[in-house]
């Protein structure tokens, strides 16, 4: 997900109908510039070299989202292809959760996260949690620091807890649900779900955890 405003100008994006490295190319109607959807970068046109601001988002199933946000809204698109169901993740090794900061990229494979649902890691000198909920196939990345305190997370008996306070956490929302930190919220980081092959194509120097 990206912010659509660039240099105080709000852009309107459409699908260009073109592909770059077998990936979708967007086009903004205001300048006609062509954008890589996976990089968020204008590759051709007046805005070439410009980067869109990435916004943290979550990719999960409808049931999980509705449970967390019962009053939320939903956009319904005309379906032009097969239904998007859990079966698309039948091969978890084909997917990664990846992030790029200041030109440095790192990714965590879904196959690795399936075996390690709570990964305490460091990226660009920032302590991070990479969490994976297998049932809904939800992968999220958070800053592990709360009020200058770095937490260490673990997954046991279907629950994510931190070792320091033993508080329980909802990894879809990043909010502590029980314990002394109840109500505290982890800062979500702008990691994205991608096909592993596409991630390697656009970020050939990316580190991939577990490899």
Residue 72: what pLDDT?
A: 86
Pair 94, 140 in one domain: yes
What is the distance between the alpha carbons of residues 67 and 87, in angstroms, rounded to a whole number? 21
- The three-point CA angle 156-84-101 to 5° equals 65
Pair 69, 24 in one domain: no
Total count of domains within the chain: 2
Residue 170: what pLDDT?
A: 96
Compute the average pLDDT of residues 102-114. 95
Q: Is residue 52 part of a domain?
A: no
Q: Is residue 54 part of a domain?
A: no
Are 16 and 5 spatial neighbours (Cβ–Cβ below 8 Å)?
Answer: no
Q: How far, in whole angstroms, is CA 168 from its chain's centroid?
A: 22
List the domain range (segments joined by +) for residue 199. Answer: 62-73+90-209
Pair 40, 94 in one domain: no
Q: What is the pTM of this model?
A: 0.91
Compute the average pLDDT of residues 48-62. 93
Compute the average pLDDT of residues 26-41. 96
Residue 94: what pLDDT?
A: 95
Two structure tokens written together for 131 = 């969490």
Pair 27, 104 in one domain: no
Pair 154, 99 in one domain: yes
Band (105; pLDDT cuts 50, 70, 90):
very high
Band (80; pLDDT cuts 50, 70, 90):
low
Are 153 and 113 spatial neighbours (Cβ–Cβ below 8 Å)?
Answer: no
Pair 66, 29 in one domain: no
């Amino acid at each position: 997900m990206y912010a659509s405003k660039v240099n105080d100008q709000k852009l309107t994006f459409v699908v260009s109908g073109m592909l770059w490295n077998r990936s979708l190319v967007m086009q903004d109607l205001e300048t006609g510039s062509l954008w890589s959807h996976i990089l968020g970068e204008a590759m051709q046109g007046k805005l070439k070299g410009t980067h869109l601001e990435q916004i943290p988002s979550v990719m999960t199933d409808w049931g999980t989202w509705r449970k967390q946000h019962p009053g939320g809204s939903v956009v319904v698109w005309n379906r032009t292809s097969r239904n998007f169901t859990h079966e698309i993740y039948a091969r978890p090794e084909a997917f990664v959760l990846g992030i790029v900061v200041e030109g440095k990229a790192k990714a965590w494979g879904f196959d690795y996260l399936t075996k390690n649902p709570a990964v305490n890691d460091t990226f660009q000198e920032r302590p991070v949690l990479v969490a994976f909920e297998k049932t809904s196939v939800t992968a999220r990345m958070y800053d592990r620091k709360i009020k200058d305190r770095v937490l260490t997370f673990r997954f046991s008996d279907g629950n994510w807890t931190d070792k320091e306070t033993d508080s329980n956490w909802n990894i879809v929302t990043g909010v502590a649900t029980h314990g002394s930190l109840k109500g505290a919220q982890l800062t979500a980081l702008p990691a994205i779900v991608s096909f592993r092959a596409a991630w390697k194509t656009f970020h050939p120097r990316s580190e991939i955890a577990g490899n």
